[in-house]
Amino acid sequence: MTPEEEDRLIEAEFRDVLNGYIHSNHRKKVEMIERAFRFAKKAHAGIRRRSGEPYILHPIAVAKIASQEIGLGSTSICAALLHDVVEDTEYTVEDIEQQFGKKIAQLVSGLTKISGGIFGDQASAQAENFRKLLLTMSEDIRVVLIKMADRLHNMRTLGSMAPNKQYKIAGETLYIYAPLAHRLGLFAIKTELEDLSFKYEHPKAYADISELIKQSEERRQAVYNDFSAPITEKLTSMGLKFEAKARLKSVYSIWRKMETKKVPFEEVYDLYAMRIIFDCDDQSQEKGMCWNIYAAITDLYRLHPDRTRDWISNPKANGYQALHLTVMGPDGNWIEVQIRSRRMDEIAEKGFAAHWKYKIGESDEESELNVWLRTIKDILDDPNPNAIDFLDTLKLNLFASEIVVFTPKGELITLPTQATVLDVAFELHSQIGMKCIAGKVNHKLVPLSHRLHSGDQVEVLTSQSQTPKPEWMNFLATAKTKTRLRAVLRKEQQPMVDKGREMVEKFLADGQVELTNEVITKMMAYFHVTTREELYLKIGNGEVSLDGYILKNSPKSDKSLLAKIFRIRSGKSKKAEESEPIPPAEKINPKKTYLLRYNDNEQNFVFTDCCRPLPGDDVMGFINDQGVVEVHSLTCPRAQVLKASYGPRIVSTQWETVEAKTLAEIRIDGVDRHGILQELTQMISNQLNIDIRSLHIDTDKEVFTCRLTVLIENAEAVNDLCQKVKKIKGVQSAGREGANHVQIS
């Protein structure tokens, strides 16, 4: 493409942004947007993206998403056009303020602070960057909305990146940005971010499900037409102006359902929902119209009594309003119907940005979003967050579905599902939480670990003699509670932690061993703890003995042998240690695909216990602290954290040679009958010629569960075994134990 053609393309793309803005509801500040574009174009002149296209096309695309897909106005469009200027060029925030005023400069400054993704290379930097993001949110929500647009465009153009970068960015998007979009009510963007992340993490599964959706389209449309025709006819006869359409589940949602329910594509019955969007000029009439439509539909079809959701009387925390009901369709399957006004639909799709269009102010009552932002600020007040804990705690809040409970005075409290009486106590006040001993739920006495349901009335009971316990962590659901409890426990345990640290330092000094990360890691592995703090605490309060450690690891108790122990042993047998792979002599290049070799003579990686992958599985590599590649299944929850937290250490992998066998655990469920166990073992051992290493069977009345450990070549052999076992009369399901794998059939 010649420079003249490129310039014409840039101008045409910008005109597209401008035309969309001119036709929107916002005040017309065309001249300022034109100036911002000229400024950004000049600043980015000569710079190109990795794909080879002129860099200015990226800010133009971000401005277009912010304007036309989120619904933001001129200030945000200008900030989107200028969002990379301060970071990538010689211009400063002061230059932006001088040219475009204080508000646009503040937005650009906020976007520059959180540039380069939420995560850096170091764990502490991740926590700090995330704090910046959330603190900026509380200053001006538009910063995060523009950041969402930026991330969406980066995901749409992810194909030009290296495979390890694709893993990192897709993992980060699924881990933080998609749930954040959901929390902000940006449903369309959340769905697209999930689908794009899934496409790059599981390309084969994405392609297979997309093809199956395409193949089933004609049949699905016929069922929908049969279902919708009577409803359309009835609503038209009522004189309503409305739009009815089928809303298909996203590819990612279908895959998640297949994974969690362990069902093939053909058994995902709720592939689509019907959405009815009606026109209503008077907002006060919307609720009544929703229930009139509800009544009309339930006159036609049988209602599922437990699956009606009234999000009109109690909107979700992200502003979502609708009435959901589920009825029996003509093909015998349950179909969800969503009823919304045109205003509700815009807010559901575009989130808080749509509120401005309808001039819904916050002067009368504080919005739910700001309540949520205050909760996040409680977490930010913790002065010493462990970065990974910090991200996981936030994720609890981001992903949580809400329940609504009431105090005895009738005040409404929104909490995540699985919240307990103790969560309510902390929500009321941290001191009430610390002194909580029990609760009364709907006037019945319950323990503080009691899980709550929507609509419960909760009274908290306290005692001055109560003190917080470490085991409380196991039944807390809110990020705020976990953060506050962790801070109190840390303060109480600190003297013991300090004592344990001194004991370890003296123990190692006496044995002439330097205190290094490797030495501490070996001690942590031996004592089965996950953090240094936990190790020091156990040693400090006498739970474990260092003398026991030296005696266990050495034939003599002479501490002069300590250096030798640390050089050779780590609480394992020598034979076990020798069988572990040796780190490769050359440095691993994360930018290249790492070839996995697994045979009797060589294994250049380690398997992980968290997801138990097998040779042939879709896996990713992670370079651990010892410089060895450990493999994780792409569906592993731990892998999600690693991708989001340690991007530069992620490597794309490919199986090169697999000649050695490995152990796989399989679970088989079915209806018990005489001789079924014999049939199972004969098929596996004799027909498939697979060695069974262990077998355990439980029966409960007519149902049995069988757990097998078999020696197998690869994942394909396991899938083949499961398919054949399922053909035995009485077997209902067979699949890998401890790994989230879905077969698409």
CA distances from 704 to 1, 668, 677 (A): 67, 8, 10
Q: Residues near 264 by Cβ (< 8 Å), separated by ≥ 6?
A: 258, 743, 744, 745
The answer, yes or no, to whether residue 120 has pLDDT greater than 50, is: no
Task: Report the percentage of the chain scoring pLDDT > 70.
Answer: 82
Write down the pLDDT at residue 579: 41
pLDDT band at 452 (very low <50, low <70, confident <90, very high): very high
pLDDT digits (tens, 9 = 90+) for 688-725: 888 888 888 888 777 888 988 888 888 888 888 888 88
Task: Give the whole-angstrom CA distance, residue 360 versus residue 379.
Answer: 29
Q: Which two tokens stand for residue 201?
A: 């993490």
Task: Report the percentage of the chain scoring pLDDT > 90.
Answer: 21
Burial (CB count <10 Å: 0-12, 13-18, 19+), residue 267: exposed
Task: Give the whole-angstrom CA distance, residue 16 versus residue 68.
Answer: 10
pLDDT digits (tens, 9 = 90+) for 500-559: 989 888 888 877 777 877 778 778 877 777 778 888 888 888 887 776 565 444 444 444
Instruction: Report strand pairing: 629-633 vs 619-623.
Output: antiparallel
Mean pLDDT is lowest, of 337-346, 493-502, 563-572, for: 563-572
Phi then psi dihedrals of residue 640, to 5 deg: -60, -45
Instruction: Report strand pairing: 650-658 vs 662-671.
Output: unpaired
Q: Which of 6, 16, 53, 88 is catalytic?
A: 88
Residues 326/307, Cβ–Cβ less than 8 Å: yes
pLDDT digits (tens, 9 = 90+) for 15-49: 999 988 888 766 678 899 999 999 999 999 888 88
Instruction: Report strand pairing: 594-598 vs 436-441.
Output: unpaired
547 is catalytic: no
Say which residue, 442 or 574, is predicted with more confidence: 442
DSSP 164-229: HHHHHHHHHIIIIIHHHHHHTT-HHHHHHHHHHHHHHH-HHHHHHHHHHHHHTHHHHHHHHHHHHH
Residues 33/45, Cβ–Cβ less than 8 Å: no
- Adjacent-strand bridge partners of 735: 667
Whole-number mean pLDDT of the chain? 80
Q: What is the 3-state secondary structure (H, E, C) of 449-492?
A: CCECCCCCEEEEEECCCCCCCHHHHHHCCCHHHHHHHHHHHHHH
Residues 24/76, Cβ–Cβ less than 8 Å: no
720 is catalytic: no
Q: Which of 7, 11, 34, 87 is catalytic?
A: 87
pTM for the whole structure: 0.66
Write down the pLDDT at residue 734: 87
The answer, yes or no, to whether residue 210 has pLDDT greater than 50, is: yes
Q: What is the 3-state secondary structure (H, E, C) of 526-588?
A: HHCCCCHHHHHHHHHCCCCCHHHHHHHHCCCCCHHHHHHHHHHCCCCCHHHHHHCCCCCCCCC
